[in-house]
Structure 1
Amino acid sequence: MQPQETFGQGGLNGFLDVEDLIDRIGLDEDEIAWRKEFIGFDEADERRLADLEPLLRANSETIADDFYDNVLEYEQTRAIVDRSPKGIDALKRTQQAYLVSLATGDYDQSYFENRTRIGKLHEMLDMPLKQYVGQYGVYYDLLLSRMNERVQAQVVDAIEEWAAEREAEQDGGGLGRFVGALGLGGEDGDNDDGLEESFERAVRDAIDEGMMDVLSLLRIINLDMQVATDTYVDSYAQRLEESIERRKRLAEEVETDVQTPLGELYDASEAVSKRAEAISDHTESQAAGITQAARELDEVSAAVEEVASVADEVSDESDRTERLAAEGVEAADDALDELEAIEDATDRVAEAVDGLAARTDQIDEIVDRLDDLAERTTVLAANAKIESSRSGDQASETMGVIAGEVRSFAEQTKDDLAEIEDAVEAVREDAAATVATTEETVARVDTGTDRVRETIDSLEEIHDAAESTATGMEDVASAADQQAHGVETTAETLADLSQSADKVASAAESVAAASQQQTASLREVQQSVARLTDEEAEPEQPVYERMD
């Protein structure tokens, strides 16, 4: 069995139709021939690869071990190995067979079909293309190190062969001739120009042969990579076609499903747009009203501040009224005390008048007695005169003088008593007038006292009212301050509301514009959905063309 027939025969082959895969990627004889010609792979490369079979076979086990040591070192590639139905030993044997097949294949349709199968199996194991292509870098390292040793050995063989030929042609020491060929000089100065031409040609030919072997190996590996890459591209293309088919079916379903909702949404968008415009208009009106209310509140705030100022003044005046009322109450109390003192003094005057009247009565009694005494004195003087006329001359003269003096005394007493009576009468009249005046004064004092009491009561009421007024005015002032603060706060709030209303109006305008845009977008979506199933639409431009 050929080496290429010993690998690629795992358990996954039952899921693989190679002929169908070959047809899809177009890998026929003409395509294979073109690819060989394109990279310069010819019969000479086939001969060179055949010459490499011993090298590859001898190193296949070591290369396979080193290759899988590198694969198992990484978690991602190790996961691919774990998914393979083959064990690691079987995979290594497969790898050894693949290496030998590089040099023993016929490089025909069957060869590349087998390579197609290998690439597809790797893709079926979900090995990423980067790993599949990347593993060839491991091959290069493992293969070229052996090829380097082979080229070096070929160069050494070429040198030995050249030396043997030269020794056969000329006599002399072989070492001397070899040193001369390297241009290291001789005594006669020959070969001053460097390496001997034949020696250099031999070395170059050996190196060239080795590099051509390397190039042949790289060319067949490149062809393998192309075929494997085709299998990945075919898989991607199939997935893309399936995705496109699913997309087409989905588009048809979407078109069917969304036609009615899109129409309804289109109508709803138009209604929303109109309502948004109405909201915008109402909001602008609201913003204007709030702005006007804010201005009016500013005026009310100024008026409230004025009221607060007046309330403060009234409160001060109320305090002054309360103070004056308190002073009036105190003065009324003092006046009442004075009136009470006057009333007491009036009572004492009345008592004194009463005493004066009693004394006047006593004087009247005394005056009456004196009057009676004057009458008696007068009578006595008359009797004395009468008696004097009866007595002697001297006694008569004496009695006459006495009678005259008594009469004079009696007359003077009568005069004095008359004056006393007049005075007493005047005193009585004055006392009566004083009593009347005192009684009138007492009456007026009583009346004044009553009025003062009423005044005190009124002043106390005024005082209480003033206190209540002061308290009320303090409350009014406090309330006015609070009202002013509240109005200011309300004005600020209205200002904020005005700004918010402006923002809402702006947002409403944006909503209206967005709704209009949405309506237009929905129209475009409806048209685009319809184009999803339009079989006559032009195909999408290929990616590589669009990249140009």
Structure 2
Amino acid sequence: MNPQQTFGTGGLNGFLDADALVDRIGLDEEEIAWRKEFIGFDEADARRVSDLEGLLRDNQDAIADDFYDTLLQYEQTRSVIDRSPKDVPALKQTQRAYLVSLASGSYDRDFFANRARIGKLHELLDMPLKHYVGQYGVYYDLLLERLNERAQQQVVDAIETWVEERDANEAGLGGFVTALGFGDDEQTDGLEETVRTAIDDAMMDVLALLRILNLDMQIATETYVDSYAQRLEDSIERRERLARDVEADVQGPIDELHDASTEIATRAQAISSHTGTQATDTNRAATELSELSAAIEEVASVADDVHAESKRTERLTADGVGAADDALDELAAIENATTEVSRSAADLETEAEAVDAVLDRLDDVAQRTTVLAKNAKIEASRSGRSDAGTMGVIADEVESFAEQTKRDLEAVKDAVEGMREDAIETVETTEETVDRIDSGTAQVRETMASLEQIHDSVQTTTARMEDIAAATDQQARNVETAASTVENIADTADRVADATESVAAASQEQTASLEAVSETVSRLTADDEQPERPVYERVD
């Protein structure tokens, strides 16, 4: 099979149109001729490359093996090989056909069209350009190694031919020794020219092969550039289409967003103003709460004092109740004593009456004694007896005693009468005292009832004052916490006000940015703003 037909007949060929590719990159006969002339590839080079077909064919297996052994050493090139629809043996077969095809073509449009197709196949495998161009370096090592051996052999063959022609009658070795310089100058110059000619001929073969490889690399590179250009054109077309779609789709939302941003900026400024007012009011509330907290603490202190005074009042009321109980007991004892005095006064009245009876009897005795004394005195004067004087004296003494007794009895009567009057007065006073004691006892009982009610009320008040004190303490703590919270709210309000101002500024900036975006989107589809494609001119 023709190597040109074998090479590049893989499964990816159905994805490309080689003729369209060649037309796209401008690879016509005139272009091919210009490229050959530019690098100096002529008919002589074509013949030289054709003469290398035997060398390439003989080394195609070794070169293909060494080439893929080198590629398989690197992960990047190995990943490209793994993407190929051909396995490594099939790829080596393709490589062998490629080597032979280098020396078997007519180097016309069909030859380079095939080269373009091969380059495009590598691009379809996503082989990076650095890999594709780098492979030529691998080729250079493998091909020049064989060409070097061929050149050396050509030099040796030329020397041997020269020696044979120079000295047909001498032994080959002796002529060769003479040619190396041990002969005359004419012989040396002839050998040098022969060697130079052989080396020049070998180098011309190398140069011819390098030139055809350079043309091959140019065409392959063109396929990559064409692919990049197509991608760029597709990207530009997509960008233009996207720009038109974006302009159509975004213009409305941008207008709405612009209006919304303007409204947001206005509202943000209003919010900032309201937030500033709120911050001021909150600070004022915080101050008032601080003052209220101080007042509540003062109330709590007063409540504690009132609670202590309520405790003291409760104790005093309890003591008053106890004292009232003692007073009732004492009044009961006084009432008993008064009753006893009344009985004693009644007994005294009875005894005074008994004394009156005794006094009446003593008065009667005194009357009788006086009468008796008078009678005795009268009798003594009548009798004339010698003891009449003594009897008279006795009668006088008896009479004097009787009169004194009368006087004493009168005094006793007066004393008894005074005692009776005092006893009556005492009884009256005692009865009045009893009445007053009864009235005082009733009042004390009423006072005790009031004191007991006061005591109960004070106990309730004390308990409630305890609740009030606890509630006041709790309220003081709550107000203090509220004051702290309000201060935090004030700080937050200040920060919110600052943030709102920032939002307003950012919203204004956003509005300006939206205007710039709108202008930019409009420029995306403006005909006079379209970027120009670079124009590549060929140097003739």
Please give the TM-score of this superposition, normalised by the length of structure 2. Answer: 0.82
Q: Which residue of 1 aligns with 2:487?
A: 495
Kept in 1: contact 2:272–2:497 (CA 8 A): yes
Kept in 2: contact 1:163–1:174 (CA 8 A): no
Shift of 1:80: 5.2
Q: Which residue of 2 aligns with 1:421?
A: 413
Q: Where in structure 2 are the equivalents of 1:61-210 lying within 5 Å?
A: 61-69=61-69, 84=84, 86=86, 88-147=88-147, 150=150
- Cα deviations across residues 150-179 of structure 1 (Å, max 9, x unaligned)? 56666777888899999999999969969x
Kept in 2: contact 1:116–1:227 (CA 8 A): yes
Structure 1, unpaired ranges of 5+: 182-189, 191-195
Kept in 2: contact 1:3–1:98 (CA 8 A): yes
- Cα deviations across residues 466-490 of structure 1 (Å, max 9, x unaligned)? 3333333333332222222222222
- Cα deviations across residues 187-245 of structure 1 (Å, max 9, x unaligned)? xxx9xxxxx99999999988887676555544433432332222122123223322322
Residue 467 (str. 1) matches residue 459 (str. 2): yes
- Cα deviations across residues 484-528 of structure 1 (Å, max 9, x unaligned)? 222222222222222222222223223322332333333333333
- Cα deviations across residues 33-67 of structure 1 (Å, max 9, x unaligned)? 45445556556654554454333212212332344
Shift of 1:402: 4.8
Alpha-carbon distance in 2 for matches of 1:329, 1:466:
13
Alpha-carbon distance in 1 for matches of 2:164, 2:352:
201
Q: Which segment drifts farther, 390-399 or 358-367?
A: 390-399
CA separation of 1:256/1:333 partners in 2, compared to 1, >3 Å: closer, same or farther? Answer: same
CA separation of 1:85/1:409 partners in 2, compared to 1, >3 Å: closer, same or farther? Answer: closer
Q: 2:240 aligns with which of 223, 243, 248?
A: 248
Alpha-carbon distance in 1 for matches of 2:130, 2:481:
71
CA separation of 1:21/1:404 partners in 2, compared to 1, >3 Å: closer, same or farther? Answer: same
Q: Which residue of 1 aligns with 2:521?
A: 529
Q: Which residue of 2 aligns with 1:28?
A: 28
Kept in 1: contact 2:56–2:100 (CA 8 A): yes
Shift of 1:116: 0.2
Structure 2, unpaired ranges of 5+: 183-187
CA separation of 1:407/1:535 partners in 2, compared to 1, >3 Å: closer, same or farther? Answer: same
Q: Which segment drifts farther, 199-208 or 66-75?
A: 199-208
SS of the residue corresponding to residue 294 of structure 1 reads: helix
Residue 507 (str. 1) matches residue 494 (str. 2): no
Q: Which residue of 1 aligns with 2:3?
A: 3
Kept in 1: contact 2:163–2:176 (CA 8 A): no
Q: Which residue of 1 aligns with 2:401?
A: 409
Q: Where in structure 2 are the equivalents of 1:30-45 lying within 5 Å?
A: 30-36=30-36, 41=41
CA separation of 1:398/1:207 partners in 2, compared to 1, >3 Å: closer, same or farther? Answer: farther
Q: Which residue of 2 aligns with 1:374?
A: 366
Alpha-carbon distance in 1 for matches of 2:266, 2:119:
63
CA separation of 1:318/1:216 partners in 2, compared to 1, >3 Å: closer, same or farther? Answer: farther
Residue 323 (str. 1) matches residue 315 (str. 2): yes
Match for 1:20: what amino acid?
A: A
Q: Which segment drifts farther, 487-496 or 79-88?
A: 79-88
The alignment yields a C-alpha RMSD, in angstroms, of 4.2
Shift of 1:90: 3.7
Kept in 1: contact 2:167–2:175 (CA 8 A): no
- Cα deviations across residues 408-438 of structure 1 (Å, max 9, x unaligned)? 3322221111111111122222223333333
Kept in 1: contact 2:164–2:172 (CA 8 A): no
Alpha-carbon distance in 2 for matches of 1:484, 1:21:
92
Shift of 1:407: 2.5
Match for 2:118: what amino acid?
A: I
CA separation of 1:342/1:543 partners in 2, compared to 1, >3 Å: closer, same or farther? Answer: farther
Alpha-carbon distance in 1 for matches of 2:529, 2:264:
34
Q: Where in structure 2 are the equivalents of 1:381-400 lying within 5 Å?
A: 381-385=373-377, 387-388=379-380, 393-394=385-386, 400=392
Residue 286 (str. 1) matches residue 278 (str. 2): yes
